[in-house]
Amino acid sequence: MTNRQRPYTDEELAGLLGVRVPTTENEDQEQPGDVLSERVKTTVHDRLVRRTCEWCGDPINYSGVGRPPRYCKDSHRKRASELRTAQARADRPVEAGGRTTEPVREVIERTETVTRTVVRRGPGEVRRIPAARSSGAPYTLPENAKEWFEALQYLAGDAQDGRFTRDQRALLLSACESVIEELRHGSGVLPAPAPSPPAQPQLSRAERRRREREARRKRG
């Protein structure tokens, strides 16, 4: 191998590298290997891989064969079909069986409760008596001393049976004491005490209820 003292010329370098060096003689001439034109073509292909169910929104995988599915289940497909059918029927005119767009109208029945006020002659206050009991039966008060006596007997029997609570017993006791005070001092002079009625045998609860119903029927 010999050492080269002078530099390579352009033609020598082109020969070593295998390229063409343009010269003034062949600069405008086409040479083998020159690129005359270039065309680039890009092809893009889209393929459906997954879509969601039109009814529930769950994902559905698509294999690429056949028509893409719209629903994940047959039941969802049937429901969607029923919905479209019902919507089509509702959109028809009312005369043809369609749905009306008029607002809903309601008929409301009103029930009024009347309170009967009884005014009695003599001292005392005006009492407001309910028109009916909680059970629905007509509400009435005793009309004379005999009926009041019977009502007090029923009250005593209910108290003996323990139908009242402690607070209710205290309330009734206070009311009875007020009545006794009015009976003693209300008119100023008490009439001669009436003979006490004969002692009556203790009645059962069922018997008292039966007599109470009979008394109501007589007063009614």
Q: pLDDT (tens digit, 9 = 90+) per residue, 160-202?
A: 888 888 888 888 888 888 888 888 876 544 455 555 555 556 6
pTM of the entire structure?
Answer: 0.31
- pLDDT at 34 > cutoff 80: no
Q: What is the mean pLDDT of the chain?
A: 77
Which residue has better confidence, 1 or 103? 103
In the prediction, which pLDDT does 26 show?
Answer: 54
Q: Sketch the domain layout of the chain as residue ranges.
A: 50-96, 138-183+206-220
Cα 58 to Cα 75: distance, rounded to the nearest angstrom: 14
Burial 185-211 (b: 16+ CB within 10 A, else e): eeeeeeeeeeeeeeeeeeeeeeebeee
- pLDDT at 75 > cutoff 90: yes
What's the whole-number mean pLDDT along residues 86-98? 87
- What percentage of the chain exceeds 90 in pLDDT? 15
In the prediction, which pLDDT does 199 show?
Answer: 55
Residue 118 CB partners (closer than 8 Å, separation 6+): 126, 127, 129, 141
Q: What is the DSSP letter of 138?
A: B
